[in-house]
């Protein structure tokens, strides 16, 4: 054993850190203020209904699988990932129900019918641009640790820096969306 580590909070980050440190040979103790683990990843059961109290989308299952693999466990014994047809349903006061379909054609039709967006192309252009940003930056900020100098000296980081002008870093989200609205 390398030593003892105390982690405050059993949210996703706390639990992931606990697994990594335990696998590295540390004795880990996790302290949580709530009566349940998971932090924001929780739910409320009321009158036979279940409500997500935190994130309603589960992204990056490969990160969860990696933690299980590090601990010598098979994630398939605990999880069954299912791709859903909609990422969410949005309910408006006027009675409109908007379904955020995963299928682009269905989503385009929903945008036109429910939200009156006559041309959904700028919306999809925005999503495509967001995807390009993610693909460009994920290897730097998600797939690597930022506390190691060697992780700054690689092709992914150089590519990210070379494409910095595409990241809208000098614009607020409001400015980006206003630019989108001017082109709809």
Give me 84's structure tokens.
């859903």
**Domain limits, the chain:** 119-184
| CA distance readout (Å), 2 to 24, 26, 28, 71, 72 | 8, 5, 10, 17, 19
Mean pLDDT by 10 residues, the chain (184 residues): 93 93 96 91 88 78 91 91 88 95 95 91 89 90 80 84 87 83 62
In this predicted model, what pLDDT tens digit does every residue of 129-172 receive, in sequence order?
A: 999 999 998 888 888 877 878 777 888 888 888 888 888 888 89
Q: Is 178 exposed, middle or buried (0-12, 13-18, 19+ CB in 10 A)?
A: exposed
pLDDT given at position 59: 79
Between CA 113 and CA 101 the distance in angstroms is 13
7 three-class SS:
strand
What's this model's pTM, rounded to 2 decimal places?
Answer: 0.69
Between CA 162 and CA 114 the distance in angstroms is 40
């Amino acid at each position: 054993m390398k030593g003892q580590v105390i982690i405050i909070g059993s949210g996703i980050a706390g639990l992931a850190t606990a697994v990594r440190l335990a696998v590295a040979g540390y004795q880990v103790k996790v302290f949580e203020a709530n009566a349940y683990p998971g932090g924001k990843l929780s739910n409320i059961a009321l009158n036979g209904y279940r409500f997500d109290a935190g994130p309603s989308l589960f992204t990056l299952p490969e990160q969860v699988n990696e933690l299980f693999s590090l601990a010598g466990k098979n994630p398939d014994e605990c999880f069954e990932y299912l791709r859903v047809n909609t990422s969410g349903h949005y309910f408006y006061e006027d009675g409109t129900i908007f379904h955020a379909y995963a299928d682009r054609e269905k989503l385009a039709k929903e945008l036109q019918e429910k939200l009156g967006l006559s041309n959904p192309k700028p919306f999809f252009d925005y999503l495509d641009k967001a995807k390009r940003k993610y693909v460009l930056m994920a290897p730097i900020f998600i797939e690597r640790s930022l506390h190691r100098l060697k992780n700054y000296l690689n092709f992914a980081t150089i590519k990210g820096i070379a494409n910095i002008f595409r990241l809208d870093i000098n614009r607020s989200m409001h400015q980006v969306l206003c630019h989108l609205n001017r082109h709809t």
